[in-house]
Structure 1
Amino acid sequence: MISVFPEVSSQYLIGGEWKTSSKIKEVRNPAKITEFVGEVALCSETDVTQAVDAAENAFKAWSRTSVDERAKRMKEAAEKLSTVIEEHVSLFVRENGKTMVEAKKDLLRCVEVMSKGADTLLEWWKPVHVEGQAQKVQIRKRPRGVTAVISPWNSPMILTFKRAIPAILAGNTVVIKPATYCPLTVMSCLKIIESSFPPGVINIVTGSGSVVGEALCGDTRVRTIAFTGSTETGKKIMSLSSNSVKKLYMELGGNDPALILPDADLNEAAIKRIRLGILRASGQVCSAIKRVYVHESRYEEFVDKLKKEFERVVVGSGIQPDTTMGPLNNRSQFNFVKELLERSKQIGAQVESIGQKLDSASWEEGYFMLPSIVTNLSHDSELVRAEQFGPIIPVIPFADLDEAIEMANDTEFGLRASVWTSNETAAIDIADRLEAGAVFHNNHTVFQNLRLDFPGIKESGLSQETRWGGLELFTDCYGFAD
């Protein structure tokens, strides 16, 4: 069983050796901030250099390992991880704040990424023969080299594994930097699977972005950077990595709109899907609904139904089975959301905080916040234009569809969007006009097929995952002719 103080606490991994640092930062439970969950090592630039050294050395042999061998090792690692999922759920909840249901789902999806990725590799790696040429031409693949994976605090498990696993399968070696707010579950799971691979294939360095992140991005031996996080940090990574031509795969910020048309079926199931699209992981999801535009003919009905749906939300510690929404993850984000809400009130917005407190007595002990519906504000207000990343949703009426689409597109972001209408043809026509990496019809969720992902356009990201599950992002294709 995972102890209260996990084995990986204050550790980091270089070249198959787990090291311990005396320089640490505490990891605390966001549902009870006095509870000490563990420690995260604060690595130095020298540690990063050594991790890249180890990855570069391991790449020489790992890149020449057959695809059959790589797939076999990954399958074995997936089996190991699958046997300890239950043991990791509570640790994940205690350091991240998710509910038990959300945490377990993320962990299971990591195993799925590993297993299905191994199957996909065998099919995708085969050379592609180009027909109709005067000469025989093949499109072949080869790994790129050392890959840096910089993962976020909001969904650290799946967003680490969806980047690191295809990189490893493609024959690359990785240096992973988990978020300092909640690195422990990621590291504990990686410790279980790293023994299935040669030393140096998986390396982990922890610490601040200003030290560890910048050192990784600036190292010319790092050939690929996979980053999930804020747009501002993404821009900084682009600048730092410009000293060499790196391949960047980035999923950045979002301000996802939902458009509710006059003919939308606002039944109980639809309202529940909207609520989940807003409040999943307490709203701390890049691709969550962050603003809703409702046709004026359905505005009052929609707001009333959404209020009733929010009343069912039970906010508390994710460990408790009755909890349906946990706390925000950290003090910085908690304060940002509270202040954003307060500034909205000051300009005349109507804020209704709705839901149930699971335990009022311990409410002030964590970063708890009831979900809020905000009305009586304009499209140009700060709350509508910001990526609030919390359990707040502004709702704005519109009279004209063209106006609604214009407002939806009036942002530097372009991650996800959703269209709620009974007319699928109309939904597709509107989707063609929305500036987003993915558009959902009568839902706002994630792709059930883990091979697919569309990080976004404009300032919401770079690159896309197709049916090959990201393998193409960590591979160079080259032509062979005779």
Structure 2
Amino acid sequence: MVSELTHFVQGEKVHGRSGVFGDVYDPNTGRVQARVPLADRTETEQIITDAERAQVEWGSWSPQRRARVLLRFLQLVEDERANIAKALSAEHGKTVADAHGDLQRGLEVVEFAAGVPHLSKGEFTDNAGTGIDVHSLRQPLGVVAGITPFNFPAMIPLWKAAPALACGNAFVLKPSERDPSVPLMLAELFVEAGLPPGVFNVVNGGKEAVDTLLTDPRIAAIGFVGSTPIAQYVYSTATAHGKRAQCFGGAKNHMIVMPDADLDQVTDALIGAGYGSAGERCMAVSVAVPVGEETADALVAKLKDRIAGLRVGASDDPDADFGPLVSREALQRVDEYVASGVEEGADLVVDGRGHTVPGHEEGFFAGPSLFDRVTPDMRIHREEIFGPVLSVVRAADYEEALRLPSEHEYGNGVAIFTRDGDTARDFSHRVNTGMVGVNVPIPVPIAYHNFGGWKRSGFGDLNQHGPDSIRFYTRTKTVTSRWPSGVKEGAEFTIPVVR
């Protein structure tokens, strides 16, 4: 049976009025499991109006009172964790265990944001001038919006919403129409936790809804995660309309493997980081860079052996290492990239095309693919595949290995595996990417540090979560005050200076 999903407005589920719907597929079977309404401009503008009205009360609450709502939300999500993970897995295709991880990394940012009474404190200077005090305030922006991707339907919405709400803003979420159920579930739990109706809203939609959020003057800031072309479009459009924007795009994450690295550890790291969640992660390692022919030969042999033992299965299969891709289009895209690697002369060591899962023959499954002897000019190295495809680019020496991620157009994350501290320290300082892992394959920072890539992986001056998120969702007001002392000094016609 195909269910009909809703928007979430003013604390309630609201049916779409545009008459336009999108299909939500079950990636395990290839069948439509739900229809999601796609809002038009009028619907989106009304949601912004409702959010603007609700923000006035919410913004007047003390930071500690707002934090208590987040803390109650955390408990409610814990109570519903199993149901949320199951729903996430069923729409996205990642395993249930991976869905739990998706949710957990989002909740960690909620925990961080609950510290807003401290995080949003301003500064104070006593007697900055004779009898003059100066202090600063961090105040909410008003109504802000988040446009989030399909690959983390719990984590990224919470990364955007939690700091925004903690700082006193109203939030309009436009999630991916491919897997919108979890954001709707989270919205209900926010209201149950005590969030005033209208402060957190979910509008499902396509380009019309997005463009409304980008151009409506009542939206003060936009947070986006998705592909680089769309990130660049969102950033340029939002900023052209006077909005703050933090937009994160694609990635091509490399792992440098030095000759002294523990190859068993490296193999485990590459298998998990390259093929986990079917490679549908912006922090997935899609390029291995072994230094030296001996290192490369040994690594490829180990990877080939380990790949043979991987289990690709339905997302609710507890023994599956990873599940299906999110859509048939995603599966076709991966197959096309594998074909292009073969055409350009890379050595296809393991071919994951044509993979089927018994009982789920129409599902969107891709097996793991492994390429060796990939060169930097090939498409499978230049472009983000977003699937279970790992490329091995052999480097003759350390300097060549360092150049590969540094000169790539993307600069999201990178890792190096080595036993040598000098090499690791030099690499961390010189590599031209935003996040670095040393013997850590997926260097996603913990919630109280900032997350963000460089170059064409990120647009905007401030990153996600950590201290940057509080700065992004607030504006600073500085107050200079003096109380009359009964002494009349007369008018001054020069600029005030400290005396």
TM interval, short-chain normalised: over 0.9
Distance, in Å, in 2 between the alignment partners of 1:124 and 1:360 is 49
Q: Counterpart in 1 of 2:219? A: 222
Partner of 2:220, secondary structure, is: strand
Alpha carbons 1:314, 1:357 under 8 Å: kept: no
Counterpart pick for 2:323 among 323, 326, 335: 326
Cα pair 2:324 2:363 within 8 Å, conserved: yes
Map 1:178-217; keep pairs closer than 5 Å: 178-195=175-192, 196-208=194-206, 210-217=207-214
* CA distance in 2: counterparts of 1:432 and 1:12, whole angstroms: 46
1:121 aligns with 2:116: yes
Aligned AA (1:107)? L
CA drift at 1:240:
2.1
Amino acid at match of 1:158: M
The 1:5–1:116 alpha-carbon spacing in structure 2 relative to 1, beyond 3 Å, is farther
Distance in 1 of aligned mates of 2:218 and 2:412 = 30
Q: Could you list the per-position Cα deviations for residues 132-187 of structure 1 after superposition, in whole angstroms to 9, with x for gaps in the alignment?
A: 94453223210111111100001111001010111011000011001011111221
1:415-454 correspondence to structure 2 within 5 Å:
415-447=412-444, 449-454=446-451
TM-score (norm 1): 0.93
| Greater mean deviation of Cα atoms: 466-475 or 138-147 | 466-475
Distance 1:56 1:266, change over 3 A: same
Q: Of the candidates 59, 80, 85, which is equivalent to residue 84 of structure 1?
A: 80
Shift of 1:199: 1.6
Q: 1:106 aligns with which of 99, 102, 108?
A: 102
* Structure label with greater radius of gyration: 2
The answer (yes or no) to whether the contact 1:451–1:465 under 8 Å persists in 2 is no
Residues 444, 451 of structure 2: 8 Å contact kept: no
Aligned residue for 2:469? 470
Deviation at 1:257, TM superposition (A): 1.3
Distance 1:411 1:343 in 2: 19
Mark the runs of 5 or more structure 1 residues left unpaired by the alignment.
none
Report how far residue 90 of structure 1 moved.
1.8
Q: Answer yes or no: is 1:159 the counterpart of 2:162.
A: no
Q: Is the 8 A contact 1:357 1:363 kept in 2?
A: no
2-side partners of 1:359 and 1:241: how far apart?
43
Aligned-pair CA distance for 1:5: 6.7
Q: TM-score, normalised by structure 2?
A: 0.90
After superposition, the C-alpha distances for 1:293-338 in whole angstroms (9 at most, x for unaligned) are 1112311001111122222211011101111111111122211111
1:254 aligns with 2:217: no
Q: Equivalent of 1:75, from 59, 71, 76?
A: 71
Deviation digits for residues 23-45 of structure 1, max 9, x if unmatched? 322211111112x3322111111
Q: Which amino acid aligns with 1:419?
A: I
The yes-or-no answer on 1:349 pairing with 2:346 is yes
Which AA in structure 1 matches 2:279? G
Q: What residue is the counterpart of 2:174 in the other structure?
A: 177
Alignment-mate amino acid for residue 18 of structure 1: K
Aligned to 1:19: 14
Cα 1:162–1:107 change in 2 (3 A) is: same
Q: Equivalent of 2:41, from 33, 41, 45?
A: 45
Contact 1:250–1:455 under 8 Å retained in 2: no
Given that 1:314 and 1:356 are in contact with CA atoms closer than 8 Å, whether structure 2 keeps it comes out as: no
Moved more, 237-246 or 218-227: 237-246
CA distance in 1, matches of 2:233, 2:147: 13
- Looking at structure 1, the residues matched to 2 and 84 of structure 2 have their Cα atoms a distance apart, in angstroms, of 12
- Quick check: 397-406 or 427-436, which moved more? 397-406
SS of the counterpart of 1:163?
helix
Per the TM alignment, residue 346 of structure 1 is displaced from its structure 2 partner at its CA by 1.7
1:385 to partner: Cα distance: 0.5
Identify if the C-alpha distance between structure 1 residues 144 and 29 changes in structure 2 by more than 3 Å, giving closer, same or farther. Answer: same
Q: Is the 8 A contact 1:137 1:479 kept in 2?
A: yes
Per the alignment, residue 237 of structure 1 pairs with 234
Q: 2:359 matched to which residue of 1?
A: 362
Tell me, which stretches of 5 or more residues in structure 2 are unaligned? 482-499
Worse-matched range after superposition: 236-245 or 354-363: 354-363
Q: Structure 2 matches for 1:360-399, cutoff 5 A?
A: 360-362=357-359, 364-399=361-396
1:31: which partner in 2?
Answer: 28
Evaluate the alpha carbon distance shift between residue 102 and residue 122 of structure 1 in structure 2; reply closer, same or farther with a 3 A threshold: same
Separation in 2, partners of 1:360, 1:53: 48
Kindly state the Cα deviation for residue 421 of structure 1 after the two structures are TM-superposed.
1.0
- Give the Cα–Cα distance (whole angstroms) in 1 for the partners of residues 451 and 339 of structure 2: 34
Residue 290 of structure 1, CA deviation: 1.7
Cross-structure match for 2:493: none
Aligned residues: 473
Measure the CA separation in 1 of the matches of 2:121 and 2:437.
33
- Give the structure 1 partner of residue 92 of structure 2: 96
Say which is worse superposed, 310-319 or 145-154, in terms of deviation.
310-319
After superposition, the Cα gap between the structure-2 partners of 1:453 and 1:288, relative to the gap in structure 1 and judged at 3 Å, is farther
> CA distance change for structure 1 residues 75 and 117 in 2, over 3 Å: closer, same or farther?
same
